[in-house]
Structures are given as C-alpha cells and as structure tokens.
Structure 1
Amino acid sequence: MTGNPGESRPVVQLGAQPVDLTNCDREPIHIPGAVQPHGALIALDHGRIVVASDSVREHFGLDVSQLLGQGLDLLLEPEVRQRVETALTRENLEHNPLFLLSTSVRGRGSFDVIAHARDGLHLLEFEPGGGRTQVDPAALIRGSLGALNATRSLSDFAGVLAREVRHLTGFDRVMVYQFAPNGTGTVVAEELAAGMESFLGLRYPASDIPQQARALYVLNMIRIISDVQGTPSPLSALPEHAQPLNLSYAGLRAVSPIHIQYLRNMGVGASMSISIVRGQELWGLIACHHNSVRVLPYDVRGACEFLGQVASVQLSARQERDEQAYELRLRSAESGLISQLAQQLDPLEALSDPEANLLGFIDAPGAAISYGGELVRLGVTPSAPQITELCRWLATQPQAQVLHTDALGQEYPAAQAYADRASGVLAVPLSGNRHDYVLWFRPEQLQTVTWAGDPNKPVQVDESGLGRLTPRQSFAAWQETVRGRSAPWQGAELQAAQALRRAITSVTLRRAEETHELNVELQRSNAELDAFAYIASHDLKEPLRGLHNYSVFLLDTYGQQLDEDGVAKLRTLVRLTQRMDDLLDSLLLYSRVGRVDLHFQPTPLDTLVREALDTLSPRLHETGAAVTVHDLPTVKVDRVRVAEIYQNLIANALKYTTRAHPQIEIGMLAPADRAAHRVPPEVRPDARILYVKDDGIGIREQHYENIFRIFKRLHAREQFGGGTGAGLTIVRKIVERHGGQVWVESEFGQGSTFLFTLEA
C-alpha cells in the first residue's frame, strides 16, 4: 500500500434521533447515523475521507480517527484507486448507485465497491464480495421474464413473481404484498420453504410501513437487511462534516429500531424488499424473509431490482389495459346515454328511458334521478323518501363534480337503515339546484378480513411505561368482519360520471337555460314594444301634430308673407322637425342593432378604446377630461358594435358631470376584485368583467334599471346637452347580442361605474 495511517483526528459521531410513540411517523429513517455491520461506508469530499462507519476497524483494520481526513490511497492499491477516482468523476451517481469493482482493501479479503453521490459527497460502500456468483444478471432473469409474460391474471402474475424471486435469492419466504388505497397491505402471493407457516391472504395495517418508509421504497427500489440481530455500526465524521448524512440510496443503510424489533418479533433473521411502483406510487412490495443471516451478492440484488422494475412496467401495462377496456365500455354507454338526452326535451324522461341504460353506464344494481322536484328510481334502491332525504344531506356537503363514498352509513348514519341497498353512493349534481342529482347505489358487501395480528393494536407500550414504541408481539391470524361497505368506486367510473355531468349540463340544462333566456328576452321585447307604442302615440305624434297644425296655419293665414310672428312659428316647426328626426334616428339605430348580423373576430379592446377616444377628442379637449386606460384583453367580438359601447359610455361620462376636469377610468376587473362589486349571478365565475368608471353626477339606486330603458332620461330634455335617452339601451342590446351582461354601480353625486361582459 502507498498510504499509511494518519495521526488520530478529532471526530464527531452522527447519532440517530431516539424514536418513541411521539415521533415514529416522523422518524428520519434516511439519516440513521449508522450502517449495517456486515459492510463499511466512507464519504469523500473532493477525494478526502470525511465520514466513515466504525466498521472500518473490523473490515480494514483501521480506527475511524486514523482514516478520516485521508485519501483513498490509504485503502486501495494505486491502480484500483485510480479506477475508482476516475469513475467518481465520470459517472452520474446522484440517484444511481453503481457497482464499480471488486477488490481487496489493505490486503483484507475481497469487497464489492458500490458508489453513489449525495449532497455534494461521494459515498463508497464496501460489502464482502466472497459470495459473488459471477453470473450475468440477464441470464438469471431470462427464464423469469418468460414465465411472467405467460401469465394471464394478476394472481398468476404475482405467484410467478414470488416463485422466481425465491429461485433467484434462496430466501426462505417470498411474498408479494399489495397496498390498498387506505395504506393497508395484503399478501396476494407467497413461496416458502417446507414446514413454514403461510401468510398468504393476511392483511397488515398501514402503520406497519410508515409514510416516510413508503417514500424511500419509491426512491430506492431494493432494500436488504442481512442480519436482523446485528448491531448497527455508527458513522463518525470530521467536525466540519457533522451534519446528518443522507443514506436514502445506500444499500448498507441501517434500519429503524422499530422495524428491527418488528422483524425480530416475527422470528426473521434477514429480509429484503423489492418495490413495485406504478407511476410514482408504491403499488406493493416483493417481501423476502430468511430464518438466518443472509448476505446477498450485489449482482443477484441487481437482478432482483431489474426484475422488480420489469414487474412494475408489466403490472402497470396490464392494469392500464384493463382500465382502458373498462373506460371504452363506459364511453360507449355514455355515447348512447347522451344520444338519448339529445332526442328528448325532458331530462328526467331521457335519463330514465330504458334505452339510456343508466344502470349499464355505471356498474351498480340501483340508480335514481332527482330533477325539478321529481324522482325516478331504477333497479334496487332505497325508498323515495329515503332518497329525497339523502339528496337534502348531499346538498349540505362541500360541492364537487362528483360525490362518492363506499361507506355511506359512516358519513350519513340514516343510511345504515338501508345498507343492504345503498352502502355506497355515487352522486352527480345536475344543475345549480343543489337537490338535483343522478345517483347510483351499491349494496353492502360483507367481507371477512384476516389480519396478521390485531389491527387495533399495531403497537404496544413496553414495561418501562415510558411510552416507547414496541411492535406487537403476536402475528397470529385475527379475523374481522367488515360491514357497511360497498365495492369501491373505480377511478374510471368517477371520470365517466364527471363526463356525464358535463354532457348533461351542455345538452339538457343548456336547453332549459336557453328556454329561460328566451322567455326573459320575450318579456323584455314586449316591454320595449309597449314603450315604443307609447312613444309612437305620444312623443312622436306630438311633434307631428305640431308640424301639421303650424303648417296649416302658416299656409292659410300668411301664405308667402311671413312677419316676425310667422318666422317664430317657422322656427318652432324646425325645432319639432329636428326632434322628430332625432327620435327616428335613435329608433332606427336601436332596431338595426337587433337585426344586423354580427361579425366576430379577435379584437384588442384597447384599440377600440383608442378609436372611441379619437372620435371624442374635441369633446375631451373641451372638458379637460383625464382618461386612464388599463390593460385590456383581446376578445372575439364585433369590433364596430363594441366600439359603439365604449363611445356611448365615454360620451355619457363627459356629458353627465359638473366637474371642471372629469376623471374617466377604463379597464378590466382583476379576479381578486370581483368580491367588491355586485356581480349578477348570471355572470360566469371565469367571465372577464370590463368597466368604464367616471366621477360624474352619479345615479340613484332606484334608477339603475330605468336608465337602460329606451328614451328614458332622468333629467329635463335640454339638461346636460340634451339627448334622446337611447344610448344605454343600445349599449345593453349590443352587450346582450354578445352573450354578456351590463349593469351599473353608482354613488349619487360621486360617479358611476358601468360594468359589462362580452362572452362571445
């Protein structure tokens, strides 16, 4: 060797945090401060050893204090050291532990050297390599892959997986362990040595594997504990590297004392876990137990990890294929149901029609439709009064696109009376009426669960009475009968229900809303026709009658000889004629807005505002008004008509003011500002609300609606520059033809804000 032990240096031991009942779920198992004793670990900072396990004394014949601060030349021959250092600089080791080589260390046996990087340090693990098989991992698993590919069911797949892993590893027991959504796990397949008690079918509480352990299983797909009875070897570090060392990817990482005690209580001598991951979620584990110490060679572990990865991919593919087949069936049923909805006007009749096949749409023996105060039941359901009360309860729950539970009686105790018909419910809200639902029911599914020990006592307090966590001693089969639960609702079913809700909303409820909007429009049109009839019989007839009377008087009395009195009457005639012309122009413009075809195109609204300001520039200059224009969106509108909106509103702001220098603000409400305004309920939550704000004379609240009526002025005919009172009526008509709403907010004497939406 080229290196010699250095002088002893001050060291700091990286101890683990004590674990008890108060912090088990928060135990930092990725920084245990120790490694398993059958190997040794060192951490390098730029080639200098800054952390080492105390087991270097046993394996390398050096005390930690002699090793820290030194280089690899103290441990490895020059040629080997060069190979290791080169690999450390060339390989991507951050999340990818890599087998480097097998070598002797200070002339002591043979060690497998595995490297990875973490938090700026290079970690080297040294495991005794005498048991290496020197086989190609691909050769080990070739037969396994063929056997897995030949399976047809999930049960067969898990069984072959357990058999092949046991063949590869020689462990006494190999189980495939599947997690449920609630975190509990069930042994779905098992291979074991003769004479051992079977765990097949047993369920284990979620608390057996804490959340932080599950997260590590996703990061590091293989985990081995070679000697459950072994004493962990603490890590020591130079004082400047005294922070905890992250061992998430280290194969030698020491094990939580809680888990060690758990394995000891089971009589396990060694264990290994291989993760089965679907997406980024832990689907299950291949759990291996041995009755005695078992150090598994690195190449065999690598073959097992690869097999776990292949199993994860194949399992995901199989489940996705099954889910896609079910989704296709649901979509086919959805298509038929939507077609039925489109053919019938009454949604209740459409959904309850046998051709709609509501029970076939979602796999459930019972369904019900509650709509508009009526109720239709299909198949096996609770009674009508019970469903009505259930809908009332559902209306009090936080609203979502789909409401579902497979344990209705636990959340709504009244449902316990009909658990045999509806222990599970899937409810789809149909409209804004919180009592309108489509519901599917599933009956109680009695289930006998066999637990590995009492699940209500996953831990025990030890004899000291200090509250230390002690895993349960008994793993004897413990049976529990589960009542009040139905078969769970699958993700594809929830998505299909959401799709149905969207379809019902767009096909059926839209039709009802269109009918309602048509009625409102007809009522408004009738009112406007009444107003027009009044104008035609009064305001228009009066100037026409004056025109006629004065014309006759002029012709009969004065003829071609007009004195001053005749000139005055002639002026009156001109004034009335002009008034008639103005009224007729307004009527024609209003009529044209309602009849003309709109041409929608993406239009920057700020461009329209600038055009309106240009048109009104003489008046702006005359009044000394200051106009502030905030950022405005590009919207698909009829640019000519929307320009009229802004021109009308800005002109009114300039007209109805007594200030020397009026202030006008034009913009769009930010979402956070909506709550400060009285937004009509018809306005969609995501609608863009535009506004024109002034500091003019304002409008009293009782006139908020009157100002939009045709020819309705709140002031004397000649006040504030006169006018016909048709401008805001035209604004409303243009906005409504764009599918929007317009309203006013005002404080009398302080100013007004006209707000509107353009939904098209």
Structure 2
Amino acid sequence: MESQHEAIDLTVCEQEAIRIPGSVQPHGFLAAVREEDMAIVQVSDNTASFTGLAASALLGQPATVLIGAAPCLRLRDVLREEGNIAKPIHFDAVTLPGGGVMNLLVHQADGLLMLEFEPTASTLPGRSRHLASLISDFLSHLTDTDSVEAMSALAAREIKTLTGFGRVLVYRFDHEGHGHVIAEARNPAYHSYLHQRFPASDVPRQARDLYLANRVRLIPDAGYEPASLLPPRNPVTGEPTDLSFATLRSVSPVHKRYMQNMGTLASMSVSLVVQGKLWGLISCHNAEPAFVDFDARAVCEQLGQILALRIESREERDEYTYRLELRRILVSMLSALSQSTDFVTNMASVSHELLRFANASGAAICFEGKLSCFGLTPDAPQILDLVEWLSARSHNDLFHTDDLSGAYAPASEFKDCASGIMALPISQIHRHYLVWFRPEVIRTIDWAGNPHLKENVGDGIAAALTPRSSFATWRETVHGRSLPWRKSEIETALEFRTALLGIVLERAEQMAELAEGLGRANKELESFSYSVSHDLRAPLRHIAGFTDLLMEFEGSQLSERGLRFLRNIKDSARFAGKLVDDLLSFSQMGRAALRIDKVDMNELVTNALTKIANDDEGRVVNWKIASLPMIEGDPAFLQLALYNLLANAVKYTRTREVAEIEVSSESTNDEIIFHVRDNGVGFSMEYVHKLFGVFQRLHRMEDFEGTGIGLANVRRIVERHGGRVWAEGRPDEGAMFSFSIPVHLSVPEQSSTTHVKANSSR
C-alpha cells in the first residue's frame, strides 16, 4: 500500500487515461489472443502465479496451452455465433495448466480476443444459490413501492444481501454532477452517508463516460499491486491496449487512495442509466477485501437495470402528469389572451395562472415601452436593466438560470425575489420580454467531506493531485440560488412563446389594418376639408365685401344699432374666412410633398422676425438668438413652423413690459433639437396634451386671438420630417416649445407639391 506521503504519478484527474492503464488487478489474469490463429500475443505478468507458466514463455503460444483444445474449439464456435463480442461474456469454467479452475470471461477489443481469468465462486457467506429467484422476489417487492427513494432502498438491501458488502449506497447525480445519496443499506459498524452529497469531482468526466459504457465495476482489494501487461502495447495497433470493458482493468492510483481514505478496501459499482444518461450509481463498500463472482455481478447488473427502468417509468409518469397540468394552464391562459387586442391588459387578467405556469413568485412584461409587474419582483429600474442585459446577449428563444447573480452580478441586490429567472423574448426586433422570477431558496447541504478543499500529495509536490482524505460531514449553506427549472417548464414555456408571438403578430396585423383604414379615412377627410374650405372662401369674402359696401353707401340711413350689427357680421365673416384659410392650409399640409434641401436655420429665423416686426411694433422685445446649425429639410415648411412658434411667443408675451424670447438648439447623435422659450403667460402642464391638436386653445379668444390651428401645423410639419414636438410651461411663468429634426431624414414621397402658409394660435 502506498504511503500517504508518497507522490502519485498522475496528471489532472480529468485528463487521466483510465481506459488504458497498462495493467490489471491481480486477483485474476489476462491473455490477449490473435483471432486468426488463436496465438497469445499479450499477457499480464502475474500469469505464473495461476498457471505455473512464465508470462514471457506464453507469448506466441496457442491459446490451447492455457485452456486446452476442446474449450478452444468451443470458443471459436461462440465467436462465429455471437459475431462481435464488445462486452465480456461468461464462457465457461476452465482448468488451467497448474490444475486450478477459473472462470473464463471473453470479449473483443482493438482487433484482439481478450481472455480474462478470475476466481470461480464467491467466498462470502450467505451467497444465494438461486439467483433467478432473487430477481423474481425483487420484482415482486418493487411493484409495492412508489417513490424513487423507496425503490432505491429496496435495491440497496437486495444487493447488500447478495454481495455481503458492509454498506450499499444509491445516489443520483444532480444537474451539476454532484452525487446525492438517496438510499442506504449498511451494517451498524459502517458510517452512514444517507442524504449526504459527494462533489462532482469525485467522479471525473472520463470515469462517468466509462460508467455509462461498462455498467459493473469490481475492486476486490484496493491494496493490490497491479499486474502489468507484457508487452505494454497492443501488438496489432501499436497503441496502449484499451481495457474499457475488461473486468480486471486496473484502476487509477487516485481512486485506490480515495477508497483507502474512505476506509474501504473492496468496492463494486452498478451504473443506473436512465434515458441513455448516467442517472446515478449503486455503490457497494466493504472494509475488508471481498470478491463477487461473475454470476452474482450479472444479477446485480440486472437489478440495477430493473431499478433504472422503474425510475425512468416513475419519472416519466411524474413528468407527464406535470406536463398535463402545465398544458392545462397554458390553454387557459391562451384562451384569455386571445379575447381582445390589448395584450398587456390580457396578461394582467391571467397573472395568477401566469405565475402558476412557471411555479414563479413574480413576473414582468416589458412590451412597447411599458413595464407591467405581477407578484414579487425587483424594482422597475432593476428589471429594465436586466432586460437591457438580456437583449445585449441574444439568448435566442429562451434564457433560464437558477443562479442569476452568478451570471449577472447586479442581481445579488434582489436575490431574495429573483435568484432565478426564465426570460422569453416575444419579439425578434424590439426589447419585448416576458420574465418569470423565482426567489432565493436557502439550502443546507451535508457533504461527505469539504467539496472545496484542495489537497496535495507529500511535501512540496504542489502539482500532483490526490483524492481527498476526509469524508467527515461538512455542512454548507447555499445562498443566491432558486429552485432549478424543470425540463418540462422550459419546453412548455417555448410553446407559450410561440403562441405569444402568434398573438402579437395577429395584433400587429390588426393594428396595421386599422392604420390602413385610418389612413384612408384621413385622406378622405383631408380631401373633404380641402373641398369645403376652398368652396367656403368665396361666399365668406362676398359677405365681408357686401357688408363693407352696405356700410359705405347706406350707412348714413342706418341707426347706430344697425351699424353695430353690420360690423359684427363683417368681423365674423372675416374670422370665418381666416379659419377657412387655416383649415385649407392644414389640409394641404398633409398632401404636399417635402422638398428636401440644406436649410440654414439662422436665415429662417431672420425671415420670420421680419414678418413679425409689424406685430411687435411699439413693444419692447428682447430677442436672444443663438447660432443655429444647418439641417436637412423642406425650407418652406420649416419656415412656416418657425414663424408659428415665434409669432406665438410674441403674442403670449403681450402682457409683459419687456418680452424675453430666446431661440437655441442642441444636438445628439440622432437628432437636432430647437427650443423657443418665452416669459409670457405660460400654461398648465395638466393640459399639455391639448396644445398641438386642431382647434385646441388654452386661453380665451377675448384675450388672445387665433384659430387654434397653428400648433397643429407645427406638429404635422415636424412629424412629416420624422421628428417630434413637445412643450413645457407654467401659468404666468412662460413656456418653452421644442421640436427635433433627425440628422438623417427618411421621409416618404408625396404626389402633390403645393406649399402653404398659416398663422399660429395656442
């Protein structure tokens, strides 16, 4: 046995070549035979202890030297009948040259026929002579159990009885690869590992691959000295001999030390494979050396296969039941979501089912610039930052984790309500997300030894690895993790996403159809308003003109009251004519094509001020005009928009002794913004939504004249350039009107080229 302070010659466990150790365990011996002539080409160097023949003397000899002529002929017949024998089969009990009897196991590998010789019968007491009946009893008892833990406990007891081992554990691997002991059968003197966990590093990746391929592994005595192969390389391939399926394959020195540190000298493992994956292991331990013969191992393997099938059936049944419930909730939600076009409102109506669907404590929908939250969620800014992070990483159809803070550090601030998330993007273009949140579940895990402890061999051999030396219970409290997401939850959520995309697409089509209808109605309305406005201009001018004539020629014969009536008729006709002109201008505004050119905004302001000069005659107006940039746009339309805004500023500062009017600009990467600020009467922000509507006025006509169309013209001009308009104000403290023009215009062509002008009114 190696000393604790002897260095083990190995590299990192994950890279260790455990399939080609170059040696076998010495409780038996191995001979590799060339099939075409049945000549022995490779043997283990312990052959003499079983046969009395030196290993080197056997090389090149026919296999009959070892097993005799008759067994050799029968072996050829088996090979012809079986074809390729990838895994060991029990051929027969054969008599060796020295007179001993051993079981012969046979399989093929790397172009050679592998003959393995091992003891014929177990020396352990109580071994059953009726292995078939044991399987039958196990099956009958298994039907009476329901849970995976109960089935595993039954298997542990049966295998302990069959093998005589002191302790049998059944543990399953979790999604991180850690082994969780779910059942145990043991003698009182043995330490219990029930409900404890073994870290994933205890079973390296290549060992798991081998457990998946070779379902049973026996080590009768961990204190053995390995028997080397002679020659060390396969004579056919020139490579190290692959012993993956050899029952005598020597194990890693690390694993031998691991067993010794655990107080185990004999061990056997049976793989539990569920749906083609290594679900877990049945691990048998004995404090003293112990051998289990092939027949008993075969029964253990069958018990493991039966248990795996029952586990698979149980898990499939549970999963099927859970999926049915998920689908029932899904159908209920989709039925409600399809009732109307208001997607977010519909989501709110099924918020309870939405949380049940994902077994979540909270959910959030980020859709069309709005955030709606249900249940226990992070704050709105935290959710928006999370959505920004999700969209930047393009997680395609779905992103899920039970350790959000491990992937997204800011999540540690809200781990109590969102340690796990499942996020569905519900748009291929926009940042529209449906996110479920699961809270932190603080768990206490009992490990069989500290899983984070890294040990080294000897003094000063820091590069070498060893198995851990302590299996004492080590308790760890895990924070920042939620319940893991089940496969069925993820798959059903993807179905939900597909359905949601269909609903959103249908909504978009309905909105597009509605927009098309509104577009047609707007065009018809514009045509109607243009026709009506055009046809009304002449009658209104006639009314005003004939009123002037009547007052001029017949005024001396009229009473003062009659003249007052005529003046009222004249004023009303002129106001109506002005209103008709503005309506005509507004109608033409949507029909006229834009003529895009380079525009000097300083020049447009100068032209507007020239026109306004007559209106502010006799007043003190302090103009503060900043240097304005060149932009792209329609000069005539932009001139009209600026004139309306500046005329508004002059009009609504009329009550001030000194009017302060300021024009400025600012730039971003995407747009150029212009501001017109005044110190006039202002307005209440409560009514800001009315400012840019047609015929909307926030002040009495007796105080400030106007038709209420000027600002509507400003908005239409700016929006046709792809920009936006807004305003800020306070009563009696002035106002600021702003509009933006994109740096790069993208405007549709129009058929008409008419240009118009209109006066402004707030």
TM-score (norm 1): 0.65
Q: What does residue range 26-175 of structure 1 map to in structure 2 within 5 Å?
A: 26-46=15-35, 47-131=38-122, 135-175=129-169
Give distance in 1, aligned partners of 2:384 and 2:163: 60
Matched, 1:322 2:313: no
Residue 200 of structure 1 aligns with an amino acid whose one-letter code is L
Judge conservation of contact 1:334–1:361 (CA < 8 Å) in 2: yes
Give distance in 1, aligned partners of 2:515 and 2:8: 70
Q: What does residue range 462-481 of structure 1 map to in structure 2 within 5 Å?
A: 462-465=458-461, 467-481=463-477
Farther-moved stretch of structure 1 (294-303 vs 378-387): 378-387
Judge conservation of contact 1:19–1:27 (CA < 8 Å) in 2: no
Q: What does residue range 556-575 of structure 1 map to in structure 2 within 5 Å?
A: none
- Equivalent of residue 426 in structure 2, options 421, 424, 430: 430
Residue 161 of structure 1 aligns with an amino acid whose one-letter code is A
- Residue 462 of structure 1: how far off its partner (Å): 2.6
Q: What does residue range 101-500 of structure 1 map to in structure 2 within 5 Å?
A: 101-131=92-122, 135-237=129-231, 240-241=235-236, 242-354=238-350, 357-465=353-461, 467-500=463-496
Judge conservation of contact 1:178–1:188 (CA < 8 Å) in 2: yes
Task: Rate the CA distance shift 1:257–1:358 in 2: closer, same or farther, 3 A.
Answer: same
Judge conservation of contact 1:88–1:122 (CA < 8 Å) in 2: no
- Residue 460 of structure 1: how far off its partner (Å): 2.4
1:653-677 deviations in Å (ceiling 9; x for gaps): xxxxxxxxxxxxxxxxxxxxxxxxx
DSSP-derived class of the 1:186 partner? strand
Residue 311 of structure 2 aligns with an amino acid whose one-letter code is L
DSSP-derived class of the 2:289 partner? coil
DSSP-derived class of the 1:343 partner? coil
Judge conservation of contact 2:442–2:480 (CA < 8 Å) in 1: yes
Give distance in 2, aligned partners of 1:124 and 1:704: 84
DSSP-derived class of the 2:363 partner? strand
- Residue 393 of structure 1: how far off its partner (Å): 2.2
Give distance in 1, aligned partners of 2:112 and 2:475: 50
Residue 145 of structure 2 aligns with an amino acid whose one-letter code is T
Judge conservation of contact 2:152–2:307 (CA < 8 Å) in 1: no
- Residue 94 of structure 1: how far off its partner (Å): 3.2
Aligned counterpart, 2:606: none
Give distance in 2, aligned partners of 1:527 and 1:258: 84
Task: Rate the CA distance shift 1:201–1:355 in 2: closer, same or farther, 3 A.
Answer: closer
Residue 282 of structure 1 aligns with an amino acid whose one-letter code is L
Task: Rate the CA distance shift 1:40–1:496 in 2: closer, same or farther, 3 A.
Answer: same
Give distance in 1, aligned partners of 2:33 and 2:374: 70
Give distance in 1, aligned partners of 2:224 and 2:507: 73
- Where does the alignment leave 5 or more consecutive residues of structure 2 unmatched? 1-6, 528-744, 752-762
Give distance in 2, aligned partners of 1:380 and 1:252: 58
- Residue 464 of structure 1: how far off its partner (Å): 4.4
Aligned counterpart, 1:559: none
Farther-moved stretch of structure 1 (346-355 vs 64-73): 346-355
- Residue 225 of structure 1: how far off its partner (Å): 0.4
Residue 165 of structure 2 aligns with an amino acid whose one-letter code is F
Give distance in 1, aligned partners of 2:43 and 2:514: 81
Residue 204 of structure 2 aligns with an amino acid whose one-letter code is P
Residue 443 of structure 2 aligns with an amino acid whose one-letter code is Q
Give distance in 1, aligned partners of 2:523 and 2:94: 97
Q: What does residue range 663-742 of structure 1 map to in structure 2 within 5 Å?
A: none
Farther-moved stretch of structure 1 (487-496 vs 457-466): 457-466
TM-score (norm 2): 0.65
Give distance in 1, aligned partners of 2:510 and 2:15: 56
Give distance in 1, aligned partners of 2:263 and 2:465: 19
Give distance in 1, aligned partners of 2:380 and 2:121: 75
Judge conservation of contact 1:337–1:355 (CA < 8 Å) in 2: no
Aligned counterpart, 1:24: 13
Residue 373 of structure 2 aligns with an amino acid whose one-letter code is R
1:635-664 deviations in Å (ceiling 9; x for gaps): xxxxxxxxxxxxxxxxxxxxxxxxxxxxxx
Judge conservation of contact 1:409–1:423 (CA < 8 Å) in 2: yes
Give distance in 1, aligned partners of 2:113 and 2:234: 18
Give distance in 1, aligned partners of 2:258 and 2:746: 78
Residue 20 of structure 2 aligns with an amino acid whose one-letter code is I
Farther-moved stretch of structure 1 (170-179 vs 86-95): 86-95
- Residue 530 of structure 1: how far off its partner (Å): 12
- Residue 442 of structure 1: how far off its partner (Å): 0.9
Give distance in 2, aligned partners of 1:157 and 1:58: 43
- Where does the alignment leave 5 or more consecutive residues of structure 1 unmatched? 1-17, 532-701, 711-760
- Residue 280 of structure 1: how far off its partner (Å): 2.0
- Residue 274 of structure 1: how far off its partner (Å): 0.2
- Residue 511 of structure 1: how far off its partner (Å): 2.3
- Residue 176 of structure 1: how far off its partner (Å): 0.4
Residue 35 of structure 1 aligns with an amino acid whose one-letter code is V
Task: Rate the CA distance shift 1:184–1:356 in 2: closer, same or farther, 3 A.
Answer: closer
DSSP-derived class of the 1:244 partner? coil
Residue 69 of structure 1 aligns with an amino acid whose one-letter code is G
Give distance in 2, aligned partners of 1:483 and 1:71: 65
- Residue 54 of structure 1: how far off its partner (Å): 0.9
1:552-609 deviations in Å (ceiling 9; x for gaps): xxxxxxxxxxxxxxxxxxxxxxxxxxxxxxxxxxxxxxxxxxxxxxxxxxxxxxxxxx
Identity across aligned pairs (percent)? 40
**How many corresponding residue pairs?**
521
DSSP-derived class of the 1:308 partner? helix
Residue 508 of structure 1 aligns with an amino acid whose one-letter code is V
Residue 205 of structure 1 aligns with an amino acid whose one-letter code is P
- Residue 705 of structure 1: how far off its partner (Å): 9.6
Task: Rate the CA distance shift 1:101–1:245 in 2: closer, same or farther, 3 A.
Answer: same
Judge conservation of contact 1:93–1:115 (CA < 8 Å) in 2: no
Give distance in 2, aligned partners of 1:529 and 1:62: 110
1:609-644 deviations in Å (ceiling 9; x for gaps): xxxxxxxxxxxxxxxxxxxxxxxxxxxxxxxxxxxx
1:375-415 deviations in Å (ceiling 9; x for gaps): 22222222223222222222222322111111112222222
Residue 164 of structure 2 aligns with an amino acid whose one-letter code is G
- Residue 78 of structure 1: how far off its partner (Å): 2.3
Judge conservation of contact 1:270–1:289 (CA < 8 Å) in 2: yes
Judge conservation of contact 2:456–2:462 (CA < 8 Å) in 1: no
- Residue 211 of structure 1: how far off its partner (Å): 0.5
- Residue 337 of structure 1: how far off its partner (Å): 1.0
1:26-84 deviations in Å (ceiling 9; x for gaps): 11111111110000111111211111111211111111111111111111232222222
Residue 191 of structure 2 aligns with an amino acid whose one-letter code is E
Give distance in 2, aligned partners of 1:104 and 1:39: 14
Judge conservation of contact 1:406–1:486 (CA < 8 Å) in 2: yes
Judge conservation of contact 1:207–1:458 (CA < 8 Å) in 2: no
Larger Cα Rg: Structure 1 or Structure 2? 2
Task: Rate the CA distance shift 1:110–1:521 in 2: closer, same or farther, 3 A.
Answer: farther
